[in-house]
Structure 1
Amino acid sequence: MPSSPPGYAFRGPGLDRSELLRERPDDLRARWTVARVLVVDTDGNARFPEAAGGCGFCIGAELAGELPDAASFLGLGEEGAWFALPHESLPEPLPGRMDLRSAATEWPALEAAALAEARALLHWQQRNKFCGGCGHALALGKGGWCARCAQCGLEHYPRTDPAIIVAVTDGERLLLGRQASWPKGRWSVLAGFVEPGESLEQAVAREVMEEAGIPVLECQYAASQPWPFPAALMIGFQAQGLPLEPSVSDELEQARWFSADELDSAVATGEVKLSPVLSISRWLIDEWRLQARARREAAPAG
């Protein structure tokens, strides 16, 4: 079981999504003028009036006198309603810009989580303008959370792509891999998307075998993280694997086992660069390092 609470991005307290309010457009319109609005451009960046700094959100009345058709309801915070609005729907561009990864480290947790929600929702809207059943244009409803086809009646909803991410240990060492496209020295735990008809546990075993040739004996759920780049949900596991020599496929450039001492030394010298602290991958690695350190300290002397 995890020994430290997850502290990575987008997992902290979020908005009350208040699903029932999505069905009450009059209530949403009444909340607009004092609502907090995250304006998001097509690259997924938050946009705001100040060219440098700024609070990251706008107030509804500053953008439009009434609720725009393009606005989507994100939920309720202590200070009221939050909405998302596509930047391209504004008559004039906003000069301030903040990408989601930067917001995750610089903004309060709730605002960063709201931006993650807004980015994922608007990305889905931008890429789903026509019905997958008949090709007819879609119209948004339910506060932006449903796209309806007037031609065939199909309703389309935002998709989330589940992906497993797993810290595999042989009892003494941690399995890490690196892709050829990553920066020099970057290593991480293994991850991959869940396939149709596959359980999470099956996905863990398949991905570890495909990427590193290591059979998984058992695994257990650890934690999860929304990862809206563009629409993944990272589902974290800790797993036990056989202590075999890794054999990589074309998905990885390298895979190897690290003892706790080897990993600590490689990180200290800069030989190994771990995932950024905003990600669940880093938490899984640090969690294993904490557990390894605890085992060393508990071991009898001599």
Structure 2
Amino acid sequence: MNLAETVTFGGGRLNRAAHLRGDAALPTSPDSRIIVLWRGKPLIDRGGLVRLTPDHPMLADAGPNRVLLGLVDGTPLSAADLSRWIPDGDDAPVDGFADTTRQVHPTLPEGPAFAELRSVMTDLSPLDAELAATARALVTWHGSHGFCANCGAATAMAQGGWQRNCAPCGRHHFPRTDPVVIMLVTHGNSVLVGRSPGWPAGMYSLLAGFVEPGETLEAAVRREVFEETGVRVGPVRYLASQPWPFPASLMCGMAGEATSTAITIDPVEIEDARWVTREEMADVFAGLHPDIRPARPGAIAHHLLHGWLADRLD
């Protein structure tokens, strides 16, 4: 796909500097910088991700560990988690579509704020988007993997946050990424779209689903589409991918050619599915369709549909 590396969270070209992950002093060296997250929400201002010095007073509210993200123009950049900080009047807003709230830390009362990443991802530079996605995925993983899956003992962060070690049984644990197929399934001049319960009214997107153990991407496309809609898919090919840190997926954009068109939805999986012509989808993107809203800008579904409309999938 010509625009594969323009997908949000991809193409930032971060130098991940894996050879430096064993240097525990890097995140606290005076020339290093730290980005911070609160409940998965990065601290941003009009210039993008905020980078704090290691001695910034805000970090007093952070957990003790830092995740080394890599080098940016030779400067070590790490991430810290401020989730234990409780803002005044905090009512624990719901993460996701409904969270438009922003939290301001008292050490920077007139400045930046913590914002839901999905609401600001298209405003960030490619590098800042990649940094935010990487930091969110790693911080979330550490928050839910504090104990060994083998013996149940507490684990300790290692390798700059890219590993957790269990001293009692000697196991090493690594951040996980779950592959998900998201499918641009077409038949002639039409594309198959669907919607899940709980989405904003009128929002439709491409079908998607997790890849199961022992399954290829191509097989997952055919299985997921048939399970959700009853539509059969023939030839399948890869288009592009997108890290999606909500919490830890890799969206594998695929193109598939439908060999049938009759739709029988699985109401457990989706709320609705329909075929939409290219002309209708152009109206959707223009905001002119009477009852369909486009996929979220910044999501790979939006990129794939835009590429299909522009005939730029190859």
- The TM-score normalised by the length of structure 1 is 0.86
Higher helix fraction: Structure 1 or Structure 2? Answer: 1
Does residue 261 in structure 1 map to residue 279 in structure 2? yes
In structure 2, what is the equivalent of residue 179 of structure 1?
A: 196
Which consecutive residues of structure 1, in runs of 5 or more, have no partner in the other structure? 295-302
Alignment map for 1:24-35 (pairs within 5 Å): 24-26=23-25, 28=26, 32-35=29-32
In structure 2, what is the equivalent of residue 61 of structure 1?
A: 55
Shift of 1:6: 5.0
Does residue 142 in structure 1 map to residue 159 in structure 2? yes
> How many residues of Structure 1 are paired with residues of Structure 2 in the alignment?
286
Paired amino acid for 1:32: S
Q: Distance in 1 between matches of 2:294 and 2:53?
A: 38
Q: Distance in 1 between matches of 2:257 and 2:30?
A: 53
Q: Distance in 2 between matches of 1:91 and 1:177?
A: 38
In structure 2, what is the equivalent of residue 274 of structure 1?
A: 294
In structure 1, what is the equivalent of residue 101 of structure 2?
A: none
Whether the 8 Å contact between 1:70 and 1:89 is mirrored in structure 2 is no
Q: Distance in 1 between matches of 2:52 and 2:134?
A: 16
Q: Distance in 1 between matches of 2:12 and 2:290?
A: 34
Alignment map for 1:208-223 (pairs within 5 Å): 208-223=225-240
Q: Distance in 2 between matches of 1:38 and 1:214?
A: 45
Q: 1:116 to 1:54 in 2, by over 3 A?
A: closer
In structure 1, what is the equivalent of residue 133 of structure 2?
A: 116
Which consecutive residues of structure 2, in runs of 5 or more, have no partner in the other structure? 88-103, 107-112
Does residue 70 in structure 1 map to residue 65 in structure 2? yes
Q: 1:37 to 1:204 in 2, by over 3 A?
A: same
Q: CA RMSD in A?
A: 2.7
Does residue 84 in structure 1 map to residue 83 in structure 2? no
- The TM-score normalised by the length of structure 2 is 0.83
Paired amino acid for 1:255: A
| CA radius of gyration, larger in | 1
Whether the 8 Å contact between 2:233 and 2:260 is mirrored in structure 1 is no
Q: 1:109 to 1:256 in 2, by over 3 A?
A: same
SS at match of 1:202: helix
Deviations 1:153-184 (A, max 9, x none): 01111011110001000122111111232111
Whether the 8 Å contact between 1:32 and 1:61 is mirrored in structure 2 is no
Shift of 1:140: 0.7
Does residue 94 in structure 1 map to residue 105 in structure 2? yes
Whether the 8 Å contact between 1:6 and 1:283 is mirrored in structure 2 is no
Shift of 1:88: 4.4
Whether the 8 Å contact between 1:47 and 1:94 is mirrored in structure 2 is no
Q: Distance in 2 between matches of 1:13 and 1:4?
A: 14
**Aligned residues with identical type, % of pairs:** 35
SS at match of 1:211: helix
Q: 1:72 to 1:221 in 2, by over 3 A?
A: same
Q: Distance in 2 between matches of 1:12 and 1:270?
A: 35
